[in-house]
Amino acid sequence: MAGAIASRMSFSSLKRKQPKTFTVRIVTMDAEMEFNCEMKWKGKDLFDLVCRTLGLRETWFFGLQYTIKDTVAWLKMDKKVLDHDVSKEEPVTFHFLAKFYPENAEEELVQESTQHLFFLQVKKQILEEKIYCPPEASVLLASYAVQAKYGDYDPSLHKLGFLAQEELLPKRVINLYQMTPEMWEERITAWYAGHRGRARDEAEMEYLKIAQDLEMYGVNYFAIRNKKGTELLLGVDALGLHIYDPENRLTPKISFPWNEIRNISYSDKEFTIKPLDKKIDVFKFNSSKLRVNKLILQLCIGNHDLFMRRRKADSLEVQQMKAQAREEKARKQMERQRLAREKQMREEAERTRDELERRLLQMKEEATMANEALMRSEETADLLAEKAQITEEEAKLLAQKAAEAEQEMQRIKATAIRTEEEKRLMEQKVLEAEVLALKMAEESERRAKEADQLKQDLQEAREAERRAKQKLLEIATKPTYPPVNPIPAPMPPDIPSFNLIGDSLSFDFKDTDMKRLSMEIEKEKVEYMEKSKHLQEQLNELKTEIEALKLKERETALDILHNENSDRGGTSSKHNTIKKSSPRQKTYLHLSPQSRLFPGTLSVVMVLPSVILTHA
């Protein structure tokens, strides 16, 4: 008996351990996951598992999307997963995407993970041109995307070409201007450099704040026909329902805000919108497929619920989430500030280290130069000592020569004195000889006169004349003392003059004192000044810069419509555009006793009794 019970328990436990499961692949914007699901799981079971895995708490924005014959569908929460019209081949693939969009991303998106998923999805839609974005806004959005991925701009790391492999701009924008990839990168980098100090979540939120003002942001378009058979587009978004011309998805022809709609219903392929104001005609249209009507109604229900929730006080769960988000944001802000201070201190320490290394290298060079100068000084000192010794010897030699010269001068002076006395005596003798010669000349003249007188007596006194001539001849030939020319005394040899000019070596060496390095720590980071009120001016400035390079012939219909709206000032506010196109603005709701579409609200009656009977 006990063995039978144990056998049954073992069999039942084995049965529990081997439930029937199937494999599901979940594709998010940046990852893929696979789960084993039980056959009985409903859509909510799978959706909750995915949200828990992603750590996502703001689940009301998201859904699991799949495709049926080229038509998009969303997994219903209250229906079994395998009861949907999905592929039976495993793994069954679903895309985890944002199904509903917030009116104000900054106020409604609390979790950083939620912001990141919205950022990735909106960025993809803009690049794939599912959301029209003007060129100037595309460049600004690209700069925030780069900030979110690469962090603060660093010229040493982010050199020209670092964005070459990045997809940042729609192809339509690139083809619209005669600009090279380098020119686009230069303009994106110029904006990117101005986002310094923004963390990834802050850059992504700035991206969403700009993107949410684009005309096609968050709008789901469906092809419809009115009663006359005119082809139109129905747009469903967070603000209401909008009717567009197929050629103009930017500006709706008419809009029905959620607070002005009394009833929405469909019967087969016919869809009916009843405004709250009974004076306004009921709008009816036909869609191509019944499945499309179901999807439209599903989106209307979800967007209306969120529209009403935004206008009520936050639930306790949302308040707790926002409080936790604020605490987490403050903690991250403090952590970023701490990291910024550490980074600044590290950079300052590195700069100080580099400066000290530079000073050390400079001092080493100066020490090397000083050593070389010292060696040159020592060599010069040795040369000067040797030269001083030689000079001393030369001085001794010159002193000896000077003494000899002095002795020679004394001898010459003594000789000169003797010569002077002899000269004076000789001059006296010459003077006496001259006097004697003068006297003899006078005597000769007198004798000549006497001779003339005696010519007559020449014959008689020839003998006497002969004796007189002989005597005169004797007188004339008598030796006399010629003038004595003193022999000049030989001059002493030139005394060589020796001028000693001492060479002097001057080496001016300045000791390089270490200066105290003081760096003022920058306590506050650069505050980002691009506030929302200046954003349009910045976009206009960028538009002006690149307008000259635009190729007009490549403008698309949406470009032309956007430019016309800009000229009319129609793109200043997406909400203003919807208000202008609204048939009448109401701030109250009407309660219908037949409401089954929005239970528990004071909003609108969505399904008529006939609809419930038809589609029960």
Q: Which residue has the tokens 């002899």?
A: 422
Chain Cα centroid distance, residue 499: 70
Beta bridge partners of 254: 243
First to last CA, the chain: 52
**Residue 245 burial (CB count, 10 A):** 15
Determine the angle formed by the axes of helices 316-453 and 462-476, rounding to 10 degrees.
Answer: 160
The 3 state secondary structure assigned to 369-419 is HHHHHHHHHHHHHHHHHHHHHHHHHHHHHHHHHHHHHHHHHHHHHHHHHHH
Angle at 337 between CA 332 and CA 343, to 5 degrees: 120
Binding-site residues, in ranges, read 76-79, 294
**Residue 581 burial (CB count, 10 A):** 18
For residue 397, give the nearest of 466, 473, 465, 498 by alpha carbon.
Answer: 498
Residue type, 197: G
Residue 534 main-chain phi, psi, to 5 deg: -100, -5
* Cα atoms found within 13 Å of the Cα of residue 332, Cβ hemisphere only: 13
Q: Which residue has the tokens 């809009």?
A: 255
Q: Which residue has the tokens 């009116």?
A: 103
CB 528 within 8 A of CB 198: yes
